[in-house]
A and B are shown apart, each in its own frame.
Chain A
Amino acid sequence: MAIPFVVSGNFIGLLMLVVIMGATVYFTKRAQGGKVQPIRRVPGIDAMDEAIGRSVEMGRPVVASHGIASLRDATTGPQTIAGLSVLSYVAKKTSEVGAELIVPVRSPEVWPIAADIVETAYKVSGKAEDYKVENIRFLSNDQFAYSSNYIGLLMREKPGANIMIGAYWAESLQLAETGSRVGCMQISGTAQTSQLPFFLVATDYCLIGEEIYSAGAYLTNDAQMIGSLAGTDVGRIIAVALSLLGALIVTLGSQVMIQFFGW
């Protein structure tokens, strides 16, 4: 069935997008009025302060990276944004407690943003003199040159904590294993499903998929941002309901759901 003014096959996608975006906006506005939903604890995010504190006690630096993706790609760009939001929190904390922060960067266009985030965090904490621009390290634009450089950095600096939140590919295991070898506390997170098993087995805490997107909201404790998370729950309920309904209908031999999603 063709819907006027809608590209054939994309109607349900558009409808779902509008519903989920609408729910997110609604819960965000609701949170503005003081009605904030409780959120579940995420051990990996709770462990950030512990990891930074551990580094200070050991007199070692904190390494925090935001993945190797740029901001351009539709699927991996948001992961970089999520990684930078976490970096913002980590920079704020390290500047407050006096830990040295090293940020390995792969994408040249992200380097000025990362440098700006860290510099601002140090200025806000009143420790502008502690900010070292050379600690925001552009390693290489090439994936494995970045990886070998990051491995070398971990081996030389022996950080107390290695926080990796963002989009990683084949280098994920190389970095996580090296971090484990030098004995640093590791918190990882990615929405790259092919890399999740590596992070899960090689790091102490792993944020799985969407948890990295909610990390910024969780860490800032901002009511509006927390409210927006409730919008994704609406989408989750719809997804589960449609999955169960679809499985039942297809099992009964009907093609109704397949036709429905083809609108």
Chain B
Amino acid sequence: MVFLQVIPYYLDLGKNLNDQMGNVANYFQRWMLIVIALATLVGVIAVVQVHAKNVQKRSKDWLFSIIVLVILALMLVAGLPLKEVTLGPTNSVYLYLFNNAYTPLSGTMYSIIAFFITSAAFRAFRARNIEASLVLIAGLLMVLSNAPLFTVMWPPFKTIGDWIMAVPNTATMRAITMGIALGTIALAVRTLMGIERGYLRGGGD
């Protein structure tokens, strides 16, 4: 599978052979999609297992487990792909829950990151040592560079901010990215050689 995917990327062995290898790789990828679709069922079973046990044992906050199980069942039934009985993604109950519960909750979770950033910044921006002081100074300069009020007062703030992003930030990120690529290759080699077994039954021995 690995070579079927990698060879056409690097080697030009003629259109026919490259296409055939691509087709075989796609065929195996379809297998993978079927396995993943089945795995979703495993996820549902795992959720039911945990929350049903919570309800059964009357564990702490077991009432929330009932809500999870009820909503799970409701969405599962309403979303069944049976157009003949008006079920599926266009079902009114499904759409109501999706638009009025799922979407706003998801949006809320995303937007609260702003508050987490504030509390993290409060803790990080303390000049405890040289490194933390550098972070504090760079962070302050970036804030000043991105706030129109300060760039209007003193335009070089924008130039300084751009320089921080283009030079030290880009250089560091490129070094980290190169390291990640090298680490990924080493992990791939270890996995292909069967040395990396940590993810296989806790070591495979």
Contacts and interface: CB of A to CB of B under 8 A. Distances in A.
A145 interface: yes
23 contacts: A21-B188, A28-B190, A75-B184, A78-B188, A85-B196, A86-B198, A108-B39, A108-B42, A108-B43, A109-B35, A134-B53, A142-B106, A148-B105, A170-B110, A170-B113, A177-B119, A191-B184, A201-B124, A210-B180, A211-B183, A213-B183, A219-B198, A231-B189
Interface of A: 5-7, 10, 13-14, 17, 20-21, 24-25, 28, 70, 72, 75, 78, 81-82, 84-86, 88-89, 91-92, 105, 108-109, 111-113, 116-118, 120-121, 124, 133-134, 136-138, 141-142, 144-145, 147-148, 156, 170, 173-174, 176-177, 180, 191, 193, 196, 198, 201-202, 208-214, 216-217, 219-220, 222, 224-225, 228-229, 231-232, 235-236, 239
Nearest to A124: B202
B10 interface: yes
A101 to B, nearest CB: 12
A113 B200 CA distance: 7
B50 A28 contact: no
B102 to A, nearest CB: 8
Contacts of A7: 9-12
Interface stretch (B88-96, B150-158, B170-178): B170-178
A137 B193 CA distance: 31
Given A7-B11, A108-B39, A147-B109, A213 B199 contact: no
A85 B199 contact: yes
Interface of B: 9-13, 32, 35-36, 39-43, 46-47, 49-50, 53, 60-61, 102, 105-106, 109-110, 112-113, 116-117, 119-121, 123-124, 135, 173, 176-180, 182-191, 193, 195-196, 198-199, 201-203
Given A25-B193, A145-B106, A228-B186, A121 B199 contact: no
Contacts of A108: 36, 39-43, 46
